[in-house]
Amino acid sequence: MQKGIFANASPLTRLTLTATVVALCFSFFYFAGLLVARFAFHIDFKDLNGDLAAQFVANHAGAFQFLQIMQTTGMFIIPPFIVGYLIQRDAPSYLAMRSRTSIQAYLIAPVIIIASIPFINYLVSFNEAMHLPESLRSLETWMKESEKNAESLTQTFVQAKTWKQLGFNLFMIALLPAVGEELLFRGILQKQFTELTRNVHAGIWIAAAVFSFMHFQFYGFIPRLILGVLLGYVFFITGSLWIPILAHFTNNAITVIFYYLYDAGKIDNTAQEIGTTTNDLYMAFLSLAVVVLLMITLYLTEVRHRQSSTK
């Protein structure tokens, strides 16, 4: 296999390479997106200043969707392939996209995500209840305001009245981020942090922390961290990037479909509260226990698959 020019680089150099490629690609796609939006959607750049939340999405839905796709592509999808090529030439192999795994893994991974919902809901309520010291009250106020704006933006963004809109949202909000974020955070960063720390568990947790931090939703940091850890161990156990991509897509798709059914009046909001109330607290820990058992099952399944493959 032909090596890339950074094949023998140190872990820190590779990490610096990744950060540089991500920054350059994101900047190019971001400003290219703004330029196209200026002429294709007739947006005045001054409209992009200030609050970008619900009002901007409502007035410029098509432009916002285009910019979202451009930014996701520029930040998460293109950079991993460039980095993979510079290190190994065969980028899909470096990103573990050619690795084979058991059929059962494709079934177990989505179930892990579904089973984790009550526990993740509990972590959401726990995270939202956290308060900073009095000396940092102004910072806490700003964080809560940012969280409120982000939630308003998300709710406006995922609105879908037709099946066609739902399908587009599944592509833009569920599939693209699932592919892109797993390419970067699991396919690249988890591997590089593992090489840097020489510890696979440290690599998983650090990559998950960066994954959560880069969403810039401070009161969702803990549940998103744990989600990243779950995806990280699924990747580590199976060795195939397609499995965490599928699990990540499942997580995103559940949210998109929930909002669609909620807006249509077909379900109420109680699904998001499972595991958050005192009466449902047992559901959160039962959820955690089921997730642990499923992860063990996934591990044993992959061990048997590898043993049978070597015979």
In one letter, which amino acid is 29?
F
Residue 116 φ then ψ, to 5°: -80, -10
Whether the per-residue pLDDT at 5 is higher than 80: the answer is yes
pLDDT of residue 150: 66
The gap from C-alpha 40 to its chain's centroid, in whole angstroms, comes to 29
Cα–Cα dist 306/50, whole Å: 54
Query: What average pLDDT does this structure show over 283-301?
Result: 95
pLDDT above 70 coverage of the chain, percent: 85
pLDDT of residue 282: 85
pLDDT of residue 263: 79
* Long-range contacts, stretch 224-231, CB < 8 angstroms, 24+ apart: 226/119, 226/120, 226/123, 227/116, 227/120, 227/251, 228/185, 229/204, 229/205, 230/112, 230/113, 230/116, 230/291, 230/295, 231/182, 231/185, 231/186
Secondary structure (H, E, C), the chain: CCCCCCCCCCHHHHHHHHHHHHHHHHHHHHHHHHHHHHHHCCCCHHHHCCCCCHHHHHHCHHHHHHHHHHHHHHHHHHHHHHHHHHHHCCHHHHCCCCCCCCHHHHHHHHHHHHHCHHHHHHHHHHHHCCCCCHHHHHHHHHHHHHHHHHHHHHHHHCCCCCHHHHHHHHHHHHHHHHHHHHHHHHHHHHHHHHHHHCCHHHHHHHHHHHHHHCCCCHHHHHHHHHHHHHHHHHHHHHCCCHHHHHHHHHHHHHHHHHHHHHHCCCCCHHHHHCCCCCCCHHHHHHHHHHHHHHHHHHHHHHHHHHHHHCC
Confidence bin at 245 (pLDDT 50/70/90): very high
248, 150 in Cβ contact below 8 A? no
Whether the per-residue pLDDT at 51 is higher than 50: the answer is no
pLDDT of residue 54: 52
pLDDT of residue 26: 96
pLDDT of residue 50: 47
pLDDT of residue 16: 97
More confident residue, 307 or 238: 238
Query: What average pLDDT does this structure show over 233-243?
Result: 97
Cα–Cα dist 41/49, whole Å: 16
Looking at every residue in the chain, the average pLDDT score rounds to 86
Query: What average pLDDT does this structure show over 37-60?
Result: 62
- Mind listing the pLDDT tens digit for each residue in 138-177? 766 766 776 766 666 666 667 777 888 899 999 999 999 9
- Mind listing the pLDDT tens digit for each residue in 86-95? 999 999 999 9
Confidence bin at 273 (pLDDT 50/70/90): low
Per-domain residue ranges of the chain: 1-94, 99-309
Give the global pTM: 0.90
pLDDT of residue 211: 94
Question: What's the token pair of residue 186?
Answer: 């699991």
* Long-range contacts, stretch 200-208, CB < 8 angstroms, 24+ apart: 200/236, 203/232, 204/229, 204/232, 204/233, 204/236, 205/229, 205/232, 207/232, 208/232
- Mind listing the pLDDT tens digit for each residue in 190-221? 999 999 999 999 999 999 999 998 877 787 88
More confident residue, 114 or 134: 114
Whether the per-residue pLDDT at 49 is higher than 60: the answer is no
Query: What average pLDDT does this structure show over 15-22?
Result: 97
pLDDT of residue 296: 97
pLDDT of residue 7: 92
